[in-house]
Structure 1
Amino acid sequence: MGVDNARLRRIRISLLVGALGMFALLYAPQPVLPQLADAFGLSPGAAALTVSATTLGLAVGAIPLGMLSEAVGRRRTMVCSLVLAAALGLVMPWVQAFPVLVGLRLAQGVAVAGLAAVAAAYLADETGGAQLGTTMGLYVAGTTIGGMSGRLLGGISGDFTGWTGGVLTVGVLGAACTALFVVLLPAERAHQRQELRWRPLLGGLRTALSDPVLYVPYLVAALGMGAFVAVYNVLGFRLTAPPLLVTPALAALAFLAYAAGTLTSALAGRAADRWGRTRTLLLGLAVTVVGLLLMLVDDLPTIMVGLVVFTGGFFAAHAVASGWVGARADASARGQASALYQFAYYGGSSVGGVLGGFAYAAWGWAGMTALLCGWLLLAGAAVAVTHRAPVAQVASES
């Protein structure tokens, strides 16, 4: 199926805006974790639960909502999900009990799962595969813009108004993006809805699980995102503590490193279309490890350079891995395969974010870095092994 340029442009803009709002809401507390920890008397690992609860909710909600989208429609699922997530984002700052806050963050994660799990399938359906790598790269670029702007606005405002003001600022941003997303997102044309019967939908899930090649991007998603969230959860604690002693507002500027991800995710999508997914994916993972190693030095400029390299490498790898799932999966199970990728991605975020916080508390930044490098090297080894297998050659050319 072909797609005209005007429709393709509108699809790209709407998904970019939706991704921006989703990621701003998803990580709203992250830049104010030190203030939140002080307000509730928490350790870095415990405070990180406000981030991990949301990504856990997303991981849990991704598969059922991805399956549900096969029956009720991709657009309806994404719109309803983001509207609910934005509403919860505006309620969150008024909550003063930490367990209730964590519970609402869990619910918000389930809500945004409808967009996160369905977007790649929607793009594959509505573009007919035309320039899918480039389009998926632009969608991932939207996630980086959302991650950067939400964290930046939240961190700066949180320095002056506390964690509640920081989270409220991000909530308003998320609501504005949601309104634009609802107006701009085109109605679907290509998707053939299935009846809401769980047996055939579960059959699609089995189909998505039966392809061994897809386990590689799933593993990259889990390990890569776990390392990524661990770094950004702990970064504020490291920058504001001795010997660096950076103020919270200045520490929030570190999230400008997300701009690197905006650039590399779009470039990686094009590179994957031209040179193959596995080669581009291995390069992205290697760059991510280099960035981690640079951040070992207790020097602020070097840490910032390392963070830019780390962020760029990760988002390049993520753009390629997520696009690989959309292109490889069988058309009858594309929603389920996309949901499985999101389950791995955000499940890794939940577990990795908490483990990283406790590793930092126990072993310091160097010990945490050793752990995260091990995760990334394991992901790279899986990609390399699959690349040498004959079946992977088919996948890299599909």
Structure 2
Amino acid sequence: MTAFRDALKLGAAGAAAAACIYYPQPLAARLEQAFDTTPFWGAMPMTLAFIVLTSGPLLFGRLITVARAMRIVIVTEVLLAALFAAQAFANSPGLWFALRGLQVLLLPLLIPAVITGASNLRDSDNRGRDLAFYTAGTIVGGVAGRLLAVASIALAHWQLGSLTIAALLLASVALLRRPPVVTDELAPAGTGNAPAPATPRSWMDPVTLSYPGLALAFAVLTTILTCLPFEVGYERGGTLMLAVVYGGYAVGIVTSLGAPAITRVSRGLPRATLAAGALFTLGLAGVIHGAFAALAIGVVLMCAGMVFQQATQIVMLNAHFARSQSGTVNALFVAAVFAGGTLGSSAMVWLYGALGWTVVLIVCVLLAVIAGACMTIAARSQARAASA
């Protein structure tokens, strides 16, 4: 019961972290209007977060040990809460963007630390469940952050929405006043965790194709969700459409928590990974169709496929590599996902501004197919290694 409670606490920390990341995404067109800038700069708060989250975990990876993980989570959440509270009263673009810059500098410490804690709970016998709670938490936080931003768009002082993110962070800190106990010792025999190898494994392994696969898939999803405010707008029901589409991301809670059952029904992770890739591409077809219902269902399917891949690939990577490599495994996971986010919110947004929605969608289809192939190869390689 203690491990279950600890996993929920870290799921809440994951939710707060995700809200910090995704809160500015629906504000892209609002920032463009309020600060008289271009779509590229309207998306910059997201791009900046993704750039830092791509490189930061690799730079800070050695600082994020199992022993330090919980302290890092608590300290960074307190600092982030202060920065979001200050941003609520920032009326100039320079100050608003400067505070966003300080926020994103803390995220490469917070997110890998939460994952490291969730994958190394001392009293847990089910790492897959613990990481599924973390993934589900990020979905809740991502949806909450986006919807809170959509709600704030109509306010005359739209910056006040940042106070809600500060409140989420402080609520997570309160839950962690008795932090979970984590350990880097090997799982005891007879537990539900697949034992990680005792000796470190080479990084030159087909399993690591999981990283570029996750990056490309997340690039596609980020592209769709970042360009939609520009394509749809806020007028004539646009705000309601955005709320429905972003709310569809919540389906990821089901696929993250249901990932172990889905994998069993699919008779193994390789087949489940291939099916999730097909689901993701089918959702992209709905977005291409463009009608409101097709768009909403398409985003739901894309989110379901993406979250399943994240929930299962992180468990697979932690099971494949030694526990002594856990900090690096998780830092690379965060860096890979947000490298894709960087691509989606910068180069792809630039492409949208230069060549339009149709060209962006064609590129997204190509990236989605490559991503699915990479993650399927990685899952098959890990399955062969586990059965050897």
Please give the range of the TM-score, normalised by the shorter of the 2 chains.
Answer: 0.7 to 0.9
Measure the CA separation in 2 of the matches of 1:384 and 1:313: 13
Work out which of the residue numbers 332, 336, 341 in structure 1 matches 2:333.
Answer: 341
Deviations along 1:285-310, one digit per CA (max 9) or x if unpaired, are 22111111111223212211111111
Change (3 A) 1:66 1:272: farther
1:235 maps to 2:235: no
Letter in 1 for 2:269: R
- Answering whether residue 206 of structure 2 is matched by residue 216 of structure 1, we say no
Residue 241 of structure 2 contacts residue 292 of structure 2 at CA under 8 Å; is this kept in 1? Answer: no
Is 2:254 the counterpart of 1:259? no
> 1:198: which partner in 2?
none
How far the C-alpha of 1:70 sits from its partner, in A, is 2.0
Q: Which amino acid aligns with 1:150?
A: G
Match of 1:59, SS state, is helix
RMSD: 2.5
Structure 1 match to 2:104: 109
Whole-angstrom CA distance in 2 between matches of 1:184 and 1:270 = 31
Q: Does residue 268 of the first structure (1) align with residue 262 of the second (2)?
A: no
Q: CA deviation at 1:315?
A: 0.8
Match of 1:210, SS state, is: coil
- Superposed CA offset, 1:23-62 (max 9, x none): 1111111122211110111222221111111122222321
Distance in 2 between the 1:283 and 1:356 partners?
26
Amino acid at match of 2:116: A
The equivalent residue for 2:272 is 280
* Aligned counterpart for 2:283 among listed residues 291, 302, 309: 291
Aligned to 2:74, the other structure's residue is in SS state: helix
Separation of aligned partners in 1, 2:67 and 2:84: 25
Q: Which residue of 1 aligns with 2:120?
A: 125
Separation (CA, whole Å) in 1 of partners of 2:287 and 2:114: 33
| CA distance 1:218–1:317, shift in 2 (3 Å) | same
Whether 1:187 and 2:177 are equivalent positions in the alignment is no
Cα 1:394–1:124 shift into 2, 3 Å? farther
Residues of 2 paired with 1:162 and 1:35: CA distance? 12
Structure 2 residue aligned with 1:226? 219
Which residue number corresponds to residue 328 of structure 1? 320
Q: Secondary structure at the match of 1:125?
A: coil
The 1:378–1:250 alpha-carbon spacing in structure 2 relative to 1, beyond 3 Å, is closer
Distance 2:173 2:355 in 1: 41
Letter in structure 2 aligned against 1:31 = P
Give TM-score, length-normalised by structure 2. 0.87
Partner of 1:306: 298
Q: What SS class does the counterpart of residue 136 from structure 1 fall into? A: helix
TM-score (norm 1): 0.85
The one-letter amino acid of 1:303's match is: L
Q: Match of 1:77?
A: 72
Instruction: Answer yes or no: is the 8 Å Cα contact 1:386–1:392 preserved in 2.
Output: yes
The equivalent position to 1:392 in structure 2, one of 344, 369, 382, is 382
Q: CA–CA distance in 1 between the matches of 2:379 and 2:23?
A: 37
Q: Partner residue of 1:317?
A: 309
Alignment CA distance shift 1:94-1:238 (3 Å): same
Query: Residues of 2 paired with 1:118 and 1:211: CA distance?
Result: 25
Query: Aligned with 1:183: secondary structure?
Result: coil
For 1:394, the aligned partner's letter is R
Pair 1:220–1:74, CA change in 2 (3 A): same
CA contact (8 A) 2:207 2:382 kept: no
Structure 2 counterpart of 1:266, which letter? L
Q: What is aligned with 1:246?
A: 237
Q: Deviation string for 1:171-228 (max 9, x for gaps)?
A: 3333333332x2253133x237xxxxxxxxxxxxxx6762423422211221122112
Name the SS of the counterpart of 2:155 in structure 1.
helix
Match in the other structure for 2:353:
361
Aligned to 2:191: none
Q: What is the CA distance between 1:100 and its match in structure 2?
A: 4.3
Bigger fraction of residues in helix: 1
- How many correspondences in the alignment? 373
- Using the TM superposition, give the Cα deviation of residue 72 of structure 1 relative to its aligned residue in structure 2, in angstroms: 5.3
> Is the 1:230–1:355 contact (alpha carbons within 8 Å) kept by the matching residues of 2?
no
SS of corresponding position for 1:95: coil
Residue-by-residue CA offset, 1:99-146 (whole Å, 9 max, x unaligned): 443343233223122231133332332257732222212210110010
Contact 1:10-1:185 within 8 A present in 2 as well: no
Distance 1:109 1:118, change over 3 A: same
Compared with structure 1, are the counterparts of its residues 55 and 253 closer, same or farther at alpha carbon in structure 2 (3 Å cutoff)? same
Corresponding residue for residue 40 of structure 1: 35
> Is the Cα–Cα contact under 8 Å of residues 274 and 376 in structure 2 kept in the other structure?
yes
Corresponding letter in the other structure for 1:56: I
Measured in 2, the distance between the counterparts of 1:23 and 1:261 equals 13
Change (3 A) 1:128 1:333: farther
